[in-house]
Structure formats: C-alpha cells, structure tokens
Amino acid sequence: MDGRLAGKTALVTGAGKGIGRATALALAREGANVVITSRTKSDLDTLAAEIDALGAKALVVPADVSNEADVDRLAQDSFAAFGQVDILVNNAGVGKNGTVSTLTTADYDWIMNTNMRSTWLCTKAFMPPMIERKNGSIIFVSSVAGLNGLPNEPIYCATKFAQMGFAQAIDYEAYPNNVKVSVVAPGGTNTNYGFYNGTRTPGDPMLEEFHESEDVAEAVVFAATQPPKSRVFMVWMRPMNESLGAGSGVHFKGAAK
C-alpha cells in the first residue's frame, strides 16, 4: 500500500471509539498496518473491516490496557502478527467531572489506571524494542487538561498532567536513540467521552462546536510523519469556540471568559 507510513505498524489504544477510531483509520490511510485495541470487540471488528477496505491490515486485540496481563498479551499478539510496532499511540482515556467532595477514590483509581497506568504499561511493553532498533514513535493523546488545571476536572487533570510529565521525562532516553516522543493536547472533542457517567450528554449542541475526532487524528498523523531529523513534541489544539485560558471551565462562545 502507498502512503507516508507504508511498511510501518501502528498500535492505537482506545481504538474502538472517538479519537482512537479516527486515528486508526487516518494511520491506515497513510499505509500503516494497525493493531487496534479496546475492551469492546464489536467496535474493533467493525473498524477492522473499514481498515481492510482501505487496503491496510488490521489486528484486533480486545484488551483492558490498565491490566498488565492484557498488555503483555497485546504485545505478544502484535509482535507475532507484524514483528514489531513502529508507532505507539497511547490514546485510551476516560474522565468524570466533579469536585473533591463528590468524586470518590474509586473514581480516582479508574481514571488514573485507565489514563496513566495504561500509558505506563504500553510504553513499557513497546518502547524498549524501539530503543533497541533505534527507531520508533510514541504519541500520547493527552489534553489541554494536562496543561492547565480546570474546574470540575481534578482527577482527569491530574492524569493528563501525569502523561505530560512522563512524556517529557522519557524523551531524554528516547531521542538519543532516534525514538520520537510527541504529545497531542486537544481541547473539547466530539466523541463518546463522558457519555458513560453523565459528564457529557449525547446530542448536547455544545459537542457540535468541538473538534471532530478526525481533526485530532490529523495531528497524530502529523506527529507520526515528521522528517527523519525532526520531532514535534507537542500539538496544542483548541476548537474555535474555546479560549486558550486556564481555569475558565466553560469556554464557549458567549460565556464569561
């Protein structure tokens, strides 16, 4: 298959829906074979058929990426199918709005494990072979919530700041070995985020003003297709209805900033 990523294998976590789904398709359009993983197999099977139709290969691996045994199996299956993974996209993530008074320790464990423990486990599984080969790319889908603390998102912000710090720290061991580390930090994106717990409501007109998943996927492709001597560390994005500002919480047109 032609494309800037022909001959490469990418792995996208949280590929079943939203940004991960759009990213898997965008990478496949660039010629990459894609390992797609999330917990819901039916999402992955539907996506795999779309990737196949583009002429790329998809490997479906249902997994909970916060679970070490699942990530070990994900790595084994990926290496068995494609030999190596060239591009890791740490995308899986969840969130819940609330305050310290209303959020629970179970919420903390769920959000931190899904967003950061998964990032640790997948990077631990896929980065050392990249270092050994002196080639690879690790891309984090963090958030503007990893750049500024935001009201009602204390746990989510903590996990997204954690990804930022982790990415900056591992860049020191990555770049001397020709492994590129990049962070994509989107603002509000029209996905299924928060539908599972009332943090966001399907059909809310606010969502129509957000980035589309495909917009964020383009940023991931941009990071994955840098020329050999360059790396993009961060793509900081905002939809046109949000300010850059920290702490304004609701950034929508007409709202007090």
In the complex with ligand NAP, the residue whose CB is nearer, 15 or 174, is: 15
123 vs 76: CA distance, rounded Å: 14
Count of residues of this chain found to bind ligand NAP when the rule CB under 6 A is applied: 29
In the complex with ligand NAP, the residue whose CB is nearer, 115 or 182, is: 115
Cβ contacts of 175 within 8 Å, gap of 6 or more: 181, 231
Tokens found for residue 191: 């996905």
The answer to whether 175 is a known catalytic residue is no
CB of 212 to ligand NAP, least distance (A): 10
248 vs 35: CA distance, rounded Å: 38
238 binds ligand NAP per the rule CB under 6 A = no
Site for ligand NAP in 99-118 (CB under 6 A): 114-115
64 binds ligand NAP per the rule CB under 6 A = yes
In the complex with ligand NAP, the residue whose CB is nearer, 9 or 115, is: 115
Assess contact for 150 and 246: CB atoms under 8 A.
yes
Give the HSE-up count for residue 179: Cα atoms under 13 Å, Cβ half-sphere.
25
Assess contact for 99 and 155: CB atoms under 8 A.
no
Determine which helix (DSSP H) or strand (DSSP E) holds 236, and give its type and residue range: strand 234-236
Site for ligand NAP in 13-52 (CB under 6 A): 13-14, 16-20, 38-40, 43
Site for ligand NAP in 142-171 (CB under 6 A): 143
Active site amino acids: 156
Residues that bind ligand NAP (CB under 6 A): 13-14, 16-20, 38-40, 43, 64-66, 91-95, 114-115, 141, 143, 186, 188-189, 191-193
